[in-house]
Structure 1
Amino acid sequence: MRIHTEERPYKCEECGYSCKLRCHLKRHMRIHTGERPYKCELSVDLNIHMRIHTGERPYKCEVCSKAFKHSGNLNKHMRTHTGERPYKCEVCDNSCKTSDHLKIHMMIHTGEKPYKCERSYDLKTHMRIHTGERPYKCEECGNAFKESCDLKIHMRIHTGERPYKCEECGYACNQRSSLKRHMRIHTEEKPYKCEECGYSFKHSSQLKDHMTIHTGGKLYKCEECCYECNQSRYIQEKDHSSVKCVAIHQHMRKHTGERPYKCK
């Protein structure tokens, strides 16, 4: 009947607002309290999705400082430090760090083979990956290959054929991939980015060498004196402080005929 009588018995003590129903007053009070009891699930998903574009990684590992976009990924990562393997195989004693790894492991017992090689159009060719068979042999140097196309590319070393040319500077090479790498000189493209500091490189090998700054690893080792470093050129050139390697390098010049020092 309050609809017709205009009676408003429920009043707000904060601002004097009045209404006909208690539920309306309760809803009104949220203006003053700031309460937001109803949460949109879509907005939560959107915040997570936006991290793809913003690059935000709010979940950080306290052990190695690696950061992640999702808390679930951080939990999985932590198992690399703790060694925890919570997913156990019911058939054997094997245990895994993630449910995906356990699922793959179970295929050993079930015999399931859900993944098909996209290049297995010719099973015989595909099986060479496993057998190591290399039926295509170079008559010039004896090098052998699994596929005829690989032999064709290799033969360009002997014939000198360079079918891939740079339109910018005339540089020519015998592989498309080599031309693609070369073009980065002109385009300044640096597709290999360090996730730790954001520094970018033109070649994957440069990124690999750079990462040792963060990891402290030594990728290359001299077989002569056990010297270790993070750049291959120091090993190849024997350009490191080792009496043994300097002596070897000097001795080898007797065989190679190399004379690096010229009189001015």
Structure 2
Amino acid sequence: MPGTVVLCDECGALFSSQSALQQHRLTIHNCLQPFKCHICPAAFRRSYELDRHLQREIAYKPYRCEMCQISFKTKSNLSQHNLFRHTEERPFKCELCQAGFKRNFELNRHMNTHNRRRDMDGTI
């Protein structure tokens, strides 16, 4: 009926038709996310949300990890991600005990343990 307003009893939103209310209930209150990204696991309630996501995903993060589908802005960020998350490689080696570390700061922190030990008892 023209001029009729339909109320959502869950949130109080007003709609001009019963079908608009039904669509609202399906997408908002049932948390349906029918719009799926083909690049990553993200899903959205509305098509424009997926479109906006895809623009960012493709335009701003063109380097994608083949193992977990996370995207990065630069090739170097992807390389670092692969080193830290998907390999056991430890390129930073302690010259005193041969312990290996993924990041330089981890090696530096480790070296402090040798320095403290040497300071305490004169040994390495």
Question: Does TM, normalized by the shorter one, top 0.5?
Answer: no
Q: Which has the larger radius of gyration?
A: 1
TM-score of the pair, normalised by structure 2: 0.41
TM-score of the pair, normalised by structure 1: 0.20
